[in-house]
Amino acid sequence: MHRINQAISGALDPHETLQRIVNETVDLLAAQSGSVIFVHLAEGEAEVSTSYGHDCALQTLRYPLAGSLVGWVVEHGQPLHVFQLTPDEWPTSWKLGQQLGAAPDDVSVLLVPLWVQNTLVGSLEVVWKPQHRTTEQEVRLLESIAVQVAITITHARLYQEKERALQEVQTSEERFRAAAEGSLDTFFLLESVRNEAGKIEDFRFVEINSRGDQILPLPRDAVLGRCLCALFPIN
């Protein structure tokens, strides 16, 4: 668990962090492989986000929820341990195992729900050799690790939302500057300057279009950042 906590704090890339968590989980539980599986309920599909023991090209494989192990976990919201996969009971997971080049009837699988902010978004899965009898301790341990995975996902989402917001602000500013520069009028953008009491005592130039050079006492680059009263003092 200490190494898993290190994996969370030691990597900035969410995908890399998830991969490290899965690797540590497999080692901790002496399993053969493991995966973080996300679900897309609107499309009725699951997506293997990261995996240990499979080719990297398979890390974004998507498949139907119906007839799959993770589909059962999503429906019931609780852990699932399957001692042996069968094509009749788990047709989708059976086909998925064959697609991954594994022998579906030669594994024992444990999945626990993956909750993010009270929403079930997928499952954390580990695979052992056949007939492995999962202990209560293993289930509790995997559920604890799933909490760590949820923290990673939450942080990644917050980071992505922040990046999108910054990009939107940057795009808006660029459009604003382009519109101001293309205007036939002289354009100034000022921000208020307040004193310690919070009262506005001056205004600072933060944006000027090229036509502003025609009426300013100094070139535009020299005006930006300076206060209005400093350029046009009131006697």
CA atoms within 13 A on the CB side of 4: 22
Which position has the higher pLDDT, 114 or 59?
114
User: Of 53-67, 90-104, 206-220, which gets the smallest average pLDDT?
Assistant: 53-67
CB 109 within 8 Å of CB 133: no
The mean pLDDT of the chain is 81
What is the tens place of the pLDDT at every residue in 150-175? Answer: 887 777 767 777 777 778 777 777 77
Tell the residue number behind the tokens 């200490």, with chain if given: 2
CB 205 within 8 Å of CB 188: yes
Q: Name the nearest CA neighbour of 38 among 14, 5, 6, 2.
A: 14
Question: In this structure, how many other beta carbons lie within 10 angstroms of the beta carbon of residue 129?
Answer: 11
Share of the chain above pLDDT 90, in %: 19
- Give the confidence band of 114 by pLDDT, cuts at 50, 70, 90: very high
Which position has the higher pLDDT, 89 or 209?
89
Query: Domain limits of the chain?
Result: 2-158, 188-231
CB 122 within 8 Å of CB 70: yes
Concatenating the DSSP letter of every residue in 93-144 gives: HHHHHHHTT--GGG-EEEEEEEEETTEEEEEEEEEESTT----HHHHHHHHH
> What's the confidence (pLDDT) of residue 78?
93
Which position has the higher pLDDT, 4 or 171?
171
Structure tokens at 85: 């996969």
**58 pLDDT above the threshold of 60:** no
In this prediction the pTM is 0.64
pLDDT (mean) for 9-14: 59
**76 pLDDT above the threshold of 90:** yes
Which homologous superfamily does the CATH classification assign to the domain defined by 2-158? Answer: GAF domain (3.30.450.40)
> What's the confidence (pLDDT) of residue 56?
47
Could you give the CA distance from residue 151 to residue 205 in angstroms, rounded to a whole number?
43
> What's the confidence (pLDDT) of residue 57?
43
Could you give the CA distance from residue 226 to residue 204 in angstroms, rounded to a whole number?
5
pLDDT (mean) for 48-62: 66
Could you give the CA distance from residue 221 to residue 235 in angstroms, rounded to a whole number?
26
pLDDT (mean) for 108-113: 92
Question: In this structure, how many other beta carbons lie within 10 angstroms of the beta carbon of residue 142?
Answer: 22
CB 77 within 8 Å of CB 52: no
- Give the confidence band of 8 by pLDDT, cuts at 50, 70, 90: low
Greatest mean pLDDT range, 7-16, 61-70, 160-169, 184-193 = 61-70
